Structure 1
Amino acid sequence: MKMKWIVRTLGWLIVGLALFELATDRPEPPNPPIEHEFEEPTAFPFDITRRYSEIDIAKPHHMHQFVFHYVNEETTQELHYIVHKIVDEPNEMEDISLYGDQYELADGTTAYFDETESTSQGLWWQNRDGFTARIIYYIDGNSVELDDENRLSVQQLINLANQTL
């Protein structure tokens, strides 16, 4: 008889705890703001015939990425201006120094020039809001090998980056 009473009491206790857990209103973690303002380049080293942008916030608590595309459909030249930030680790800055030669932007920001592939060129830097920013240049969907005629100078990439500061 005493054992039945203990089992019933434990059963009611478990049911009570389960109901209390369901009734407890726990706040959801706040969504980090996804509204950001970015300056875009306005003067390009080639004519722009189409521009569009993408916002990638599939994981709003992890990473925000914004991609601005600038295309010349006739020459198939394309620039991407990409800014992204890991929002759940605000103190973790990406080490972009691995991307190549170091240069300085107009506001003193350090930028790194990357030309590890023969089909693209890139300039990487950290912007003032903690975003990693980069400008990537390529031709025909990154399939044309860049030569002296169609390669951009590092200064042209720096000029584009300076327009975003």
Structure 2
Amino acid sequence: MKHILLAMSILVLCACGGSADEEVIDTNNSPDDTKIFTLQNIRFDARDYYEGEEITVTKGTSFEVQWVAPTSESYRIDLHLSANDQEPSDNNKIVGLKCGNASLSLCPNATGEVQCEIDNNDLSCSIGSDFLGSENFLDKDLSSLKFMIKGCDALSHCDVKTFNLSIQNKTND
């Protein structure tokens, strides 16, 4: 009986030791060790929106888009207008901004904002008097329009936030 208990004790100790080694390996490769770039506080006209929510914009009016990046180090923000579940790409990019660090004047820190306007079937964006870019939506399915904000850090860690875009015609009062 002593030999059986001794053998079982050795097996239990070996098993515990094995899992401890695995735990050390897992801890060393933990995703917590990698900084992840996550956009925060996305706002349209000073109101917080969460990914997937619908933003309603009236033709002929402008709206402000604000974001907060997790760092004031160099990062990139791209704004996209997409239809039919297109992924963000150069084909649907409205604006591409290099942000962060005080040397970049358009969005010099972690917080940034642009003014966008819907008019003549175009969505265009600017910062102050600096025109940044536009995207035409005339040929797109208006029921599936998406406004996407893609942010990436210098190491190409990216985050994409997607919002449904509803475009209304201006009402005559």
TM-score scaled by structure 2? 0.32
Q: Which has the higher strand share?
A: 2
Bigger relative contact order, structure 1 or 2 (CA pairs below 8 A, ≥6 apart): 2
TM-score normalised by structure 1 residue count:
0.33
